[in-house]
Chains A and B, each alone.
Chain A
Amino acid sequence: MVMAEGSEGARPADADRAPAGTGQRAAGGLGGSAPLLALRGIGKSFGPVQALADINLDIPAGQVTALAGDNGAGKSTLIKCIAGIYQPSGGQLLWNGQPVHIHTPKDATQLGIATVYQDLALCDNLDIVQNMMLGHESVKYGILDEISMELLAKQTLRDLAVSTVRSIRQPVGSLSGGQRQAVAVAKAVMQEARLVIMDEPTAALGVSQTELVLSLITTLAERGHAVLVVSHNLTDVFRVASRIAVLYLGRLAASGPATGFDTQSVVDFMTTGTSSRLGEHRKSALSGGFTSGTEGWTDGN
């Protein structure tokens, strides 16, 4: 079943996916549980500008979902809608199948959604432990309990298999880009995030640093977190993502298991919203519940 989304004619197809559980089953080929987060018809407009329209996307736990798209496609707007910075103008967010309203970043944090922005929001002058515990310090008799905080931070880093830092008492400013990314992620995980959203995690990194971050992303998913990675870098996307969603001009051009895409088709979706190469992958795409939502390509082609 190939579904077209985002065009009027394709609307009925949405009905097939309406119950979150069934959609997930088709999309991810996973067991019967609802995806951790499901977006249903999410739209966002700023005045007359329609930044996002009718986004349907499942973000299952234990998997890496990549969100690709060209500049201005609406990637940032979409993650801000999830992170509580923007309010969607329409549609619904389902958290474990339950409708939720995320009004503020705090709401998102309380649900267990942590966003690691490109700027990482780390204090260079504080050390790794201080950064990871910032805002969640443990205190005994009014005095910071450094030992328990350091143990907690150490354990979290170990769980994430981050072993490249020499001392967790060195200032974050002295770390490499990849290590900083790792600290930012560890900080998110420590605050019991179940969904970690990462905005361009490898954008400014060298080769070995990128490896570090990619393996970190994989580890996160293996530990059962849902990971949503926003990235331009298709090599990285294919390395880590088990699911890919491509935005084009505020609409979901395509989404499905990574196996349903190749680099060229993703590039096509990103740049034109459609892909002629889709046919070649149609078989696998179909079995995986591949969806594509463009005007020019519809059901039955």
Chain B
Amino acid sequence: MATDRGEEHGGQSQDAGAQGGVTVTGDPLGGDTPPTEAAVVSSAPDLLADSLADYTRIWFRRVRSGESGALPVVLGLVAIVVYFQISQPSFLSASNIANLMGQAGFLITLAMAQTFPLLLGEIDLSLGFNMGIGATITVWMVSIAHPFPTWVAILAGVALTGAISAVEGLVIVFLRIPSFVVTLAGLLGLNGVLLWIYEQTGSVGNGGVIQLHNNFINDIVSGNMSPVAGWIALVVVVVLAGVFMITRDQRRRAHNLASPPLSVTLLKLAVMATIGVVLLLVLNHNRAASLLVTLEGVPWVVPVILVLLAIASILLTRTKFGRYMYAVGGNAEAARRAGISLSRIRVLAFAICGVLAGVSGLLYASLLGSISNNVDGGQYVLYSVAGAVIGGVSLFGGRGRIVGAVLGGFIVAVIYNGVILIGLGAAGQYIWTAVVLLAAVTLDAIARRGSSAT
């Protein structure tokens, strides 16, 4: 696949610690790319309907009865984007969209990470500083005089965050202390560890900042796929998804099992393809401010997120581990009686959460072009919870899909950027996020109440 990674562009490399200054904006389309067939597997209308009309009818009935799925999130996202676009016409410009993708990357990954403990009814409050530690280790390893190979540095950072969360998981499981308390201690302790690392590496003298001079890591957010590579990737993804969904449906039909009507499957593929095409058309446009350079293509962070989403989706919906995650979150006692090791599932969930936090840290460092000792881990962990909950992941465990977390994380990113773009600053950003979070939870609660009343 042709790549185009050498590019750097100024808007991306922000000074360390200056997260507040991030601008730029949102595209409703990027985030809700329906990613994998996996996310669709467990939704009932697929299997109850015989035709597209039937499907639509069942879907409306489910929405009315409170099983609205991703609908409120998508509608909310559209509403927010429309508002920002009206307030600030540059909101949906190609450069804004590209920049938003970069900023959404780490927030979406954080929301995905938080989804794993949340599905068990647990929480990881230390996620934000864990992310900071992983990013610091990786950036430090590639920035010292004799740098480690990039892949070693990345693996080390991700392994460290995974190990830290796994240890938290072990403490939760074996000392039987609520995850809230253990990870609250983690939040404080890891903040301390983060500061200590900067003292040890002598980076405090530089203002507590380690600059990132590694092209590979920088290019995750700042580099773009070449336009041609983008088109090829889109075609490959859509064809693969299509082949997979259609053969799966055919196999189900061959066994006389209910399967979604072909029209529904085709519609889903068409939506997926359309979103991809629009995104590519916009981002493949040359968006450089100067005539001297070319700046075009989809930022690498987009395929990175989609791959993470596909892996997490398959893990949660198509493997034993994923099934047990939902079982433990839904009814731990039932899972225990079915012979499932609750401890193993819990520790694994925290480990995965840590690994994703490490990836998030990598995307964060790539976005900033540096990493510092004032990573606002306390705020980011709250964004991770907000993203997951906005995306429909229940705080009480057992409910929610990873694609929801991606959408929720994307909404947080859109607000994060859009509010600043229309000139409201940090105050507006917090308030907006709060309102959307509250609205999402309220909608969900009302819908559920409605469904239990009937």
Q: Which of B41, B44, B258, B331 contacts A124 (CB 8 A)?
A: B331
A interface, over-half SS: loop
Q: Which of B258, B326, B339, B340 contacts A167 (CB 8 A)?
A: B258
Q: Which of A139, A166, A167 contacts B320 (CB 8 A)?
A: A139
Question: Hey, which chain A residues are within 8 Å of B48, CB to CB?
Answer: 166-167, 169
B42 & A106 in contact (Cβ 8 Å cutoff): no
Q: Which of A105, A124, A169 contacts B337 (CB 8 A)?
A: A105
- The answer to whether the Cβ of A48 comes within 8 Å of any Cβ in the partner chain is no
A130 & B334 in contact (Cβ 8 Å cutoff): no
Residue of A nearest to B254 (CB): A147
- The answer to whether the Cβ of B327 comes within 8 Å of any Cβ in the partner chain is yes
Cα distance, A190 to B330, chains bound together (Å): 21
A122 & B331 in contact (Cβ 8 Å cutoff): yes
Question: Hey, which chain A residues are within 8 Å of B398, CB to CB?
Answer: 123-125
Q: Report, as a range, how many residues of chain B touch the other chain.
A: 20 to 34
Question: Hey, which chain B residues are within 8 Å of A107, CB to CB?
Answer: none
- The answer to whether the Cβ of B213 comes within 8 Å of any Cβ in the partner chain is no
A121 & B334 in contact (Cβ 8 Å cutoff): yes
B interface, over-half SS: helix
Residue of A nearest to B333 (CB): A121
* Residues 36 to 80 of chain B near chain A (Cβ within 8 Å): 41-42, 44, 47-48
Q: Which of B251, B252, B314, B340 contacts A135 (CB 8 A)?
A: B340
Please judge, given known A-B contacts A134-B334, A143-B319, whether A127 and B339 are in contact too, CB under 8 Å: no
* Residues 211 to 269 of chain A near chain B (Cβ within 8 Å): none
A143 & B44 in contact (Cβ 8 Å cutoff): no
* Residues 162 to 201 of chain A near chain B (Cβ within 8 Å): 166-167, 169-171
- The answer to whether the Cβ of A70 comes within 8 Å of any Cβ in the partner chain is no
Q: Report A126-137 CB contacts with B as 1/0, cut-off 8 Å.
A: 110011001111
* Residues 7 to 43 of chain B near chain A (Cβ within 8 Å): 41-42
Interchain Cβ contacts under 8 Å between A and B, 21 examples: A121-B334, A122-B331, A122-B334, A124-B331, A125-B399, A126-B330, A130-B323, A134-B323, A134-B334, A134-B338, A134-B340, A135-B339, A144-B318, A144-B320, A147-B257, A150-B255, A150-B257, A167-B47, A167-B48, A169-B42, A169-B47
Known: A131-B334, A135-B340, A167-B47. 14 other contacts (CB 8 A): A121-B333, A121-B334, A123-B335, A125-B330, A125-B331, A127-B44, A134-B323, A134-B338, A134-B340, A136-B338, A139-B320, A147-B251, A147-B252, A147-B257
> 4 nearest interchain CB pairs?
A135-B338, A123-B330, A125-B330, A121-B334
